[in-house]
Structure 1
């Protein structure tokens, strides 16, 4: 008998619980009403590693060929040279005075 009484009490509590939800608009009543807030988006700038640092070795073969060209061996320049004067002694007879009597 106690088992039947307990089960009927539990059933009646369940019915009362359903009735109270229906009376409250079909949902459970709480102290605070739930508010649906939209998500907040913000632009964030950050440095992202796209690929790790490394070394890349590229081998470029030499190009061989023959060509004719003008190559400057030495730059243009101006040089100065001191050349001494050339002198010589020449002997000749020169009339210094007409002569005459004094």
Structure 2
């Protein structure tokens, strides 16, 4: 992956994951789930499918299909746990992610 592509992708993931756990606690049952929101903020990066999944329980998280530049998702409920976020080329979840990061989803 070129250095020019990696920078915008890091910005995209960082900005999108900064919103974790910021919504009001009444939006999700406390202690069980947290809230996530994804933003695509890199104009030089193509559309991606975003996978936000609990590291300890794959398949229990959020999939945001075909996220394109400028898209901002609604807050989505996600298991409260260490969570892996990985954008991948659209409709190709078996491919290695373009970039991956792990965060902790806070309750609420």
What's the TM-score, normalizing by structure 1? Answer: 0.22
Q: Which protein shows a greater Rg? A: 1
What's the TM-score, normalizing by structure 2? Answer: 0.21
User: Which one has the bigger strand percentage?
Assistant: 2
Q: Which has the higher contact order (CA 8 A, sep 6+)?
A: 2
